[in-house]
Structure 1
Amino acid sequence: MTTFTLRPPVRAGEAVAAGRQRERIRVAAVAVGCVAVCLLIGLQRFRQLQLGGFDLGLFDQAIRAYARFELPRSLIKSVHHGFPPEFSLLGDHFSPVLALAAPFYWLWDDPRVLLLVQSLLFGAGVPVVARLVRRECGKAVGPRALSWLVLGFCLVYGCGAALFYASRAGFHEVAFAVPLFLLLFERARARAYGRATAAALLLCLTKEDLGLSVGIFGAVLALRAHRAGDRAGARAGGALLVLGPLASLAAIVVVIPAMGGDARFYWQYSELGASASEALVHVVLHPLDTLRAALTPSAKALLLLWTFGSLLFLPLRSALTLCALPLLAERVFSDNGNHWQALHHYGAFVWPILVAASIETTGRMARGWERERAAAAAKWAAGLAAGITLFGVLISGSWHIVLPSHWQRDAHQEAALTAVGRIPDGVTVEADNNLAPRLTRRTRVMILDLLPRNAEWVLLDTTRKAFPFPDAQAQKDRLRLLRASGYTVAYESRGVVLLRRASPGVVVPGSVEQGRGDLPGHDTADIRVFG
């Protein structure tokens, strides 16, 4: 005889609550996965000596100074670019938000703590993306389809190639910009304008140019709020429209020079003019030439194609994309070819903007369809999201973290680490760019550059080109000069040479003291990896 057990019917509210709980678990899993992958990418690069003094080492020195309640000074930055010893990074880029990373040094005194901080900040954007999707698409599709959309966009954001490339490059202030942009958009969409303004303020404290994006968002918010009859939103948008650009102007014209920097320090836009005012006049009077400059050489056009094509051009249907224009313009009009590539951290600045714009476009499209059609489209969108995610993982090379061979060091790298270990604590060192982060915690380290600095110890590699040298031969020439000037070899293996100054009176021909050197615009060599 068969016995049947009757289960009580599941109430609709309970089913919805269970679905939301499963969604939260999936979102949390994506966030944890984003943190883990980004961190492993950075740790793998650090282990293989592929993260350099520019930029991990200089940020380590600066934020370590914050942890001691000092100004963010970096010997790597100030020496290489000819600044006086008291120069702080606030005179380079206005990024006081970096002080928020200082407490992590009280827990782990190591440059790799910054890789952890950046990974946590990237992962923090995942739940914000989930909230954005719910706000934009929640009324257009059913709970099940919405859950798929949430998961899809969380994967697209959290596994985006832009975040993985930034992780490969080490640590930068972009770590704070990514979640702050998302928080700005999400809080404004929720009409929590006080918190949105707080996020905008932190963005202005992340980098001096981000106030321009804040201002553009203010204009978008004010216009939309005015049309919707939302007076509070219109006031908040108007405030951001004015305060964002003013914050950028104040940082560039007042604060950076006051901290020992130069407002023209990073002006590298010769095709537009010698200053911002000349560039503006050129853009207005010569639009066709401006368009030509933005698209040639072809690497610039490919960059734009990749930037928008990787999200199926969905951002182009949202006004939020206007917030990315200043950041993209800085890259395509730059004289620096590194800015035209997707391989560095620059793309991570615009990634949250374009993801939010894609979500907004998806929500608008879904609201224009019938509920059943929107639900079917949501499932297709989730499938496309999975494809985009897989593409990002493959194109960025992040899958290398699962290969044991990519965690192993070769004999040349081991020789370099042996040389690092023979340098005493507390001494002054000129070091190969990609070995400098190994010394920032316990020595006064600067990168070995084109000008000798008469340091107590010098660590160089004669086998491979290192930034900022034009080739390996230039490093061999430096070795001969140092030995001829009275430096003695303390260790040598597989082309890695550690030298010690024989006496304090040794002066290398052509050497300079701190405060006299090159300016950033004079750096013409690309930054190359050690391994």
Structure 2
Amino acid sequence: MRTIDNVVEVRRPRPAAPAPRTERPALLWWGWAAVLFLLYAAVGVRRQALIRTTGYDLGIFEQAVKAYAQLRAPVAPLRGEGFNLLGDHFHPVLAVLAPLYRLAPTPYTLLVAQAALLALAVVPLARRAHRVLGRRAAHVIAFGYGLSWGIASAVAFDFHEVCFAVPLVSFALEALALRRWRLAVALGAPLLLVKEDLGLTLAAIGGYVAWQGRRTLGLATAAAGLLGSALEFKVLMPFFSPAGTYAHAANLEPGHGSLLATLAMAPLDAVRPEVKATTLVLVFAPAALIALRSPLAWIAVPTLGWRMLSQNPFHWGTSFHYTAVLMPVVFAALTDALAPYRRAGDALARRHVRASLATTAAVTLALIPSFPLAQLVHRSTWRSTAHIAAARDLLRRIPDGATVAASNRLVPQLTARTDVVLFPTYPVHWRLYDTGEPVPPPTARWIVYDPVPAESWPYPPGYWPYPKERQEAELRKAERAYGYRIVARRDGIVLLRR
């Protein structure tokens, strides 16, 4: 009898498949914001610690915020006796910083707040890039914006009100890309409270909305932007200005004698001298010029237009803070321009996207050494000097609440605890500037003078604030004619008291 053994197959349970990784894309953009905040804050804080910041402009803005914190009008003695800073530029948004400054009355409050606002702008840029182009592209866009030369130049030049505009524009651009027209307008409207020229940017946002089909909303927004800027230029700033006029009207004067001739020559004037053409190329270079394919790039036109047609040469180049508000436009437009290639899905389109992003990263890396973020790898950024120690020792001798006339780069070291003006432009009444009347003697009890500038950037060497010969002549005059006496001198720095 044949016995057939029953074979029982025992199946071992298969190991459980690993759970799919939970993707948390929000960590991507908020992580970038945190990293950039630390980066920007490090630059601003170290510049202040190394006495590289200046009275023009950090000291001026601190005086305005300090006044807001004390529930006073934003009068900035550094601009002139009784000078309401709303007559210089229209930026009531600065009052937002008053509660923070009241808690921490120091220039570091302004510098850290600026770092946070500029870093915040990366969130909508990276978020949109992640949704449209993918994770890797989001990293490249965040990297390109965060280390762009336009943002670097703003971070390394004191504090400016434009830091509020950068995240507003960035979030508004995301809303435009999502076709959320009302949200885009709501995010753009506060630009009228940031600076007088940004009403033109709001008008550009309105023009984009109208072009995309929401004509009533778009045209109303464009009109509000244009009328808002006109009101600020023609009514509000002259009202607040002690002189009764717009303080920077000379920058807007026709360059060819008449408005008609100026408009006719505008296309040529926008690219000459060559520094203007260089700046125009560099603005879009981080996006490999591909951003110009997107209609979102038109939102950069108002800022580029007034800068290139201004009579002030400082507006033409790559220094200072003037390009910061353009960087969100460039990278939002880059994402928008690459989106159709990503949707196409074919191999050639994918290669185009990869090549474009690689070019963006490469250009950003290539430009970093030429702009101020490179300061973070310089040894001098992390080391103090005997000159800085001497300056701090002399500044400590000035009592809180004193009136002081100080060299430009010493002003931000004193603004929080003294009433400080710029040496050698002693505090005089604004009416005496253009009348030819004799300027009265200085009223500040203390003068502190430092003949050694920390660095020339962003000004040309020897430019700011006055020639050394004039400053030293004013110093001798203070001793001989106004009754000041030297009470201390260290490493070339002189402290005088009346």
Whether these two folds match at TM > 0.5 is yes
Q: Which amino acid aligns with 2:399?
A: P
Other structure's SS at 1:490 match: strand
Amino acid at match of 1:386: A
- The reply to whether residue 163 of structure 1 matches residue 182 of structure 2 is no
For these two proteins, the number of residue pairs brought into alignment is 464
Cα separation, 1, equivalents of 2:49 and 2:13: 59
Pair 1:265-2:248 in alignment: yes
Q: What TM-score does the superposition give when structure 1 sets the normalisation length?
A: 0.81
Change (3 A) 1:161 1:6: farther
Alignment of 1:231-242 (within 5 A): 233-242=214-223
Q: Residue 270 of structure 2 aligns to a residue in which SS?
A: helix
Question: Which of 39, 58, 61 matches 1:59?
Answer: 61
Shift of 1:386: 2.9
1:203 pairs with 2:176:
no
Output aligned runs, 1:118-267, within 5 Å.
Answer: 118-134=114-130, 137=132, 146-224=134-212, 226=213, 233-260=214-241, 261-263=244-246, 265-267=248-250
Contact 2:408–2:465, Cα closer than 8 Å, also in 1: no
Q: Distance in 2 between matches of 1:425 and 1:400?
A: 32
Fraction of identical pairs, as percent: 30
For 2:495, give the aligned amino acid.
L
What corresponds to 1:96 in structure 2? 92
* 1:340 and 2:345 matched: no
In structure 2, the partner of 1:517 is: none
The one of 486, 493, 496 aligned to 1:496: 493
2:405 aligned counterpart, secondary structure = strand
1:514 matched to which residue of 2?
A: none
Determine which of 112, 115, 126 is the counterpart of 2:111.
115
Taking the aligned partners of 2:452 and 2:289, their CA distance within structure 1 comes to: 44
Secondary structure (helix, strand or coil) at the match of 1:268 reads helix
The correspondence of residues 387-398 of structure 1 with structure 2, limited to 5 A, is 387-398=362-373
Instruction: Give the Å deviation of 1:269.
Output: 4.2
Q: 1:420 aligns with which of 377, 395, 398?
A: 395
Once residues 67 and 5 of structure 1 are traced to their aligned partners in structure 2, the CA distance between those partners, rounded to angstroms, is 69
Letter in 2 for 1:488: R
Larger radius of gyration: 2
Task: Single out whichever of 309-318 and 242-251 deviates more from structure 2.
Answer: 309-318
Q: Which of these residues, 296, 304, 324, is aligned with residue 300 of structure 2?
A: 324
Partner of 1:141: none
Query: Match of 2:278, as an amino acid?
Result: L
* 2:406/2:423 contact within 8 Å kept: yes
Whether the aligned pair in 2 keeps the contact of 1:155 and 1:385 (CA below 8 Å) is no
Matches within 5 A, 1:306-455: 306-367=282-343, 369-450=344-425, 453-455=442-444
Cross-structure match for 1:8? 16
**1:300 aligned partner:** 276
C-alpha distance in structure 1 between counterparts of 2:80 and 2:12, whole Å: 79
Deviations 1:353-396 (A, max 9, x none): 222112211113434x3355444444444433432342343332
Q: 2-side partners of 1:159 and 1:103: how far apart?
A: 30
Which residue number in structure 2 is paired with residue 30 of structure 1?
Answer: 32
Residues of 2 paired with 1:205 and 1:330: CA distance? 18
| TM-score computed with the length of structure 2 as normaliser | 0.87
Distance across 1 between alignment mates of 2:166 and 2:249: 22
Distance 1:373 1:490, change over 3 A: same
> Offset at 1:196?
2.1
Q: CA deviation at 1:94?
A: 0.9
Change (3 A) 1:9 1:375: farther
C-alpha displacement of 1:271: 5.4
Single out whichever of 239-248 and 305-314 deviates more from structure 2: 305-314
* Per-residue deviation, 1:479: 1.5
Find the aligned partners of 1:294 and 1:492 in 2 and give their Cα distance: 49
- Contact 1:184/1:197 (<8 A) preserved: yes
One-letter amino acid matched to 1:242 = A
Give 1:415 deviation, angstroms: 1.7
Distance 1:467-1:55 versus aligned 2 partners, 3 A rule: farther
- In 2, are the aligned partners of 1:169 and 1:345 still within 8 Å (CA)? yes
Give the superposition deviation at 1:72.
Answer: 1.6
2:288, 2:356 within 8 Å by CA — same for their partners in 1? no
Query: Does residue 481 of the first structure (1) align with residue 477 of the second (2)?
Result: yes
Aligned in 2, Cα 1:29/1:384: closer, same or farther, shift over 3 Å? farther
Could you tell me how far 1:183 is from its partner in structure 2? 1.2
**Alpha-carbon distance between aligned partners in 2 of 1:382 and 1:326, rounded to the nearest angstrom:** 27
Q: CA deviation at 1:115?
A: 0.8
Whole-Å Cα distance in 2 between the matches of residues 425 and 74 of structure 1?
18
Question: Which range moves more in the overlay, 26-35 or 166-175?
Answer: 26-35
**Matched position secondary structure for 1:177:** helix
Corresponding residue of 1:230 = none
